[in-house]
Amino acid sequence: MNEMQSYGDLLDLQDVDLEIDRLIHTRSTLPVLDTYKAAHSASIQAKSVLGDLQEQFKLASRDLDKAEGELELLEDKLQREEQRLFAGGMSARETENMRNEVISLRAKQSEMETLVLEVIDRREGIEELMGAAQREADQTAVVEQELEAEVAAEWRKIDAELARREGRKVEIIPLIPPDLLGMYDKLRVSKEGVAIGRLIDGVCGGCHLALSAAEQLEVASDDPPRCLHCRRLLVL
């Protein structure tokens, strides 16, 4: 009776273990997980695009500050040179040289003003793209957070079920002899989680192959009984 009870407890343990296996598999293969992973990737990509644009905007702002600074210095120099030219008091040669210098400075001023406008246009274009990227990053982050919450809610349900199954497993294990439990654990690893089955109408509940009457007698004489085909433990 005690031996039969041990096999019964082992069947109960296997039911619990299979349910734990199922729950763990379900936990890792939730349909929403793939959706969440895609949303997470989209969020990372959106943040990366935004980060790149922010860096470009920063560099454009730096270029603009530099160009505006150089333009200001150029304008100051041009103003001083024009004042000297208009003040007079120089020889004809000095006046001609000064006039050429002013013409050159005005040309450089025009070029620098064009450059400043180009940098402003470039920065404004980046700023516009940055606004769109920020909206995209915000939207993808919201979707990611919603899906993350959904996954967490599903996991909480599964984890609660796992905790109950693990609690039941803790109750069953002490009822089974250690040597039988050790054999069961080894067989579960090699037999896709099914280490023991009932022999019903001459058919193994593990591999579902039939045993002849002589084979059933041979199995019954073994200690513990094991299927001749799959070597799983058998409850006769």
Q: What count of residues does the chain have?
A: 236
Helix axes 2-28 and 178-190, enclosed angle (nearest 10): 40
Domain residues of the chain, as ranges? 29-160
Assigned architecture for domain 29-160: Orthogonal Bundle (1.10)
Q: Name the DSSP class of 199.
A: E
Contact 99, 88 (CB under 8 A): no
Per-residue pLDDT in tens (0 to 9) along the chain, 236 residues: 466 688 899 999 999 999 999 999 999 999 999 999 999 999 999 999 999 999 999 999 999 999 999 999 999 988 888 888 888 778 888 888 888 888 999 999 999 999 999 999 999 999 999 999 999 999 999 999 999 999 999 999 999 999 999 999 999 999 999 999 999 999 999 999 999 999 999 999 999 999 999 999 999 998 899 999 999 999 98
- Predicted confidence (pLDDT) per residue in 144-161, tens digit: 999 999 999 999 999 999
- The pTM score is 0.72
Alpha helices in the chain (DSSP H): 2-28, 31-87, 92-172, 178-190, 213-221
CA distance 236 to 228: 13
